[in-house]
Amino acid sequence: MTKKLTLLLLASATLLYAGKGKIRVASDVQGAYIYVDGKKKAMTGEGFTSILLEEGEYTLKVAKPIDDKYEYAQSKKVFVGEDTSTKISFKLAQTLTAKGKALQAKEDASKLERWQKQGDVVVDTKLGLMWQDNSATKSTKKKWKNAKKYCKNLSLSGYSDWYLPNYDELLSIVDYDRYDPAIMPSFKNVNTSDNYWSSSVVVSSTKYAWIVYFKDGRTNRNGKTYENYVRCVRGRQ
């Protein structure tokens, strides 16, 4: 390649990239699409993928479909400066797609009729159970014995006859059509970082009690000396 041609190519590249900034995008999921303000621009691979953008503020989204309802995704705001280079790493989490949100809204309609939010409680109009749903249900962690005592001493919404729900009662509010949280949509206070206690003891080993994980609805057993979240319930109306 002649020196003249080389200089010409360099000059063309300078004009092409002048006034633009470089965004270098990395993701923990390979083969995910990179969107800039809703427009697909590239795909993630090993290491960083570079995108040239004019100076300004953009919304970057990295997403990979799971099915019609869910995708792995994360969005971030980014400001692109002229002739600058910025590295951004994305850690994708399972979330609803736009179509998934519409499907879920349709699925939620009948559930919202049955499980009715009334202040700090949710009433199951089919089973007649009243559930605690104040902010304490996101932060209160107890050992199993203390969880039972907490519910027994709870006074909420004018009632004082609360108790720790049994395994079947706790499972009744799991919604396997939802993810993180996998709980009926009327419930507004839930912590998905750990499990919730039931009052049901494991028959084969009474040192353990059954628990429910409301991130995805999984059930398991846990030693009674561990601390888990507490959501109390009161009997049929």
Query: Domain of 122: which CATH number?
Result: 3.10.100.10
End-to-end CA distance of the chain: 87
The distance between the two most distant Cα atoms of the chain, rounded to a whole number of Å, is 90
Sheet holding 20-27, edge to edge: 49-54, 20-27, 85-90
User: Does residue 203 sit in the same domain as residue 139?
Assistant: yes
Say if residues 38 and 50 touch (Cβ distance below 8 Å): no
What confidence score (pLDDT) does residue 5 get? 44
Q: Count the domains in the chain.
A: 2
Cα 147 to Cα 52: distance, rounded to the nearest angstrom: 55
User: Does residue 66 sit in the same domain as residue 119?
Assistant: no
User: Is 49 among the domain residues?
Assistant: yes
Residue-averaged pLDDT of the chain:
91
**Confidence at 20, pLDDT banded by 50, 70, 90:** confident
**Confidence at 14, pLDDT banded by 50, 70, 90:** very low
Token code pair at residue 73: 């995704």
User: Does residue 142 sit in the same domain as residue 226?
Assistant: yes
User: Does residue 145 sit in the same domain as residue 196?
Assistant: yes
Q: What is the mean pLDDT of residues 193-221?
A: 98
Q: What is the DSSP string of 172-217?
A: TTB-TT--SS-B-TT------SS-EEEEEEPTT-TTEEEEEETTTT
User: Does residue 125 sit in the same domain as residue 228?
Assistant: yes
pTM of the model: 0.79
Query: Quick one: which H or E segment has residue 124?
Result: strand 121-124
- Domain interval for residue 167: 115-234
User: Does residue 127 sit in the same domain as residue 169?
Assistant: yes
Domain's final residue, options 39, 73, 98: 98
pLDDT tens by residue, 94-137: 999 999 999 999 989 999 999 999 999 999 999 999 999 999 99
What confidence score (pLDDT) does residue 83 get? 81
What confidence score (pLDDT) does residue 68 get? 87
User: Is 110 among the domain residues?
Assistant: no
Q: What is the mean pLDDT of residues 46-54?
A: 94
User: Does residue 142 sit in the same domain as residue 220?
Assistant: yes
User: Does residue 127 sit in the same domain as residue 93?
Assistant: no
Say if residues 220 and 195 touch (Cβ distance below 8 Å): yes
User: Is 137 among the domain residues?
Assistant: yes
User: Does residue 122 sit in the same domain as residue 60?
Assistant: no
**Confidence at 19, pLDDT banded by 50, 70, 90:** low
